[in-house]
Structure 1
């Protein structure tokens, strides 16, 4: 994984909506990622994906869920980010029993901050969309790794290998 090449060097301080399931109930937390890392004293893996319940995005979310304990052992929390609504995130989490929280970024504020909305070529057609990307922050909220245009399949495993001591 490449070292950061972006100007983003720290977690943003504006609030985001984090959706997670706890004991069958959905919880929505409005908190800044900077504050979240300070509260947990853990690193954070923030991965951006285009859309809930699409094949690649589902594979990636399930892989991160399957590896959640390994990432926790390395001292990292994982949060997925897409432009989907809170309601769609709830359905996605429930349908696939996801154990990772998801951020609803409908206003694209977080996507713009991380510059993941780009021109893409899909099936010969140029569109503007979210580019699958991941950003790894240490427990101080400093960016240590960044990757854009990543492949969803086996990404969690590749990232674990990168982060392992």
Structure 2
């Protein structure tokens, strides 16, 4: 069953950079932004990650953790994170379990070829594990500022 706004998000566990295993249930008490992106080190994904990086202190001030998720492996994530100096962890979802939970695998088209890929999406989960906002089919420009505004408003609650 996919996530829905104003409903609790089912717990998941997934490997992440820094040798971590991220478990949603272990994050209760903090707001969480989970953003899904298609591929490490591609232009749009790099720009989006840099936006979250550049506003990281503001997200921290709003009691909000950030996690990026893609189907890339841990080694690719570690390289991407180091190169871009991301202060947050990247979750590897090679088996697409987290992608399926958030329903972000969509039919896409590139150069006339159709394939199943990650739809750039962001989710804001409150301190009780309830999904409060979702953005699907994200366009990168201005997106991080919009997510930050929602996180700050939710934190003031």
TM score, norm. by length of structure 1: 0.84
Structure 2 residue 76 is matched with structure 1 residue 88: yes
- Corresponding residue SS for 1:127: strand
**Greater helix proportion:** 2
> What is aligned with 2:34?
46
| RMSD (Å), alpha carbons | 1.7
- 1:108, distance to aligned residue in structure 2 (A): 0.6
**What are structure 2's unaligned runs of at least 5 residues?**
none
TM-score (norm 2): 0.88
Q: Is the 8 A contact 1:16 1:33 kept in 2?
A: no
Confirm whether residue 139 of structure 1 aligns to residue 150 of structure 2. no
Q: How many pairs align?
A: 151
Question: What's the CA shift for 1:6?
Answer: 4.7
Structure 1 portions without partners, runs of 5+: 20-26
Work out the CA distance in 1 between the residues paired with 2:21 and 2:69: 14
Moved runs in structure 1, 4+ residues, more than 6 A?
none
Q: Measure, in 2, the Cα distance between the counterparts of 1:84 and 1:92.
A: 10
Indicate if the aligned counterparts of 1:81 and 1:105 stay in contact, CA closer than 8 A: yes
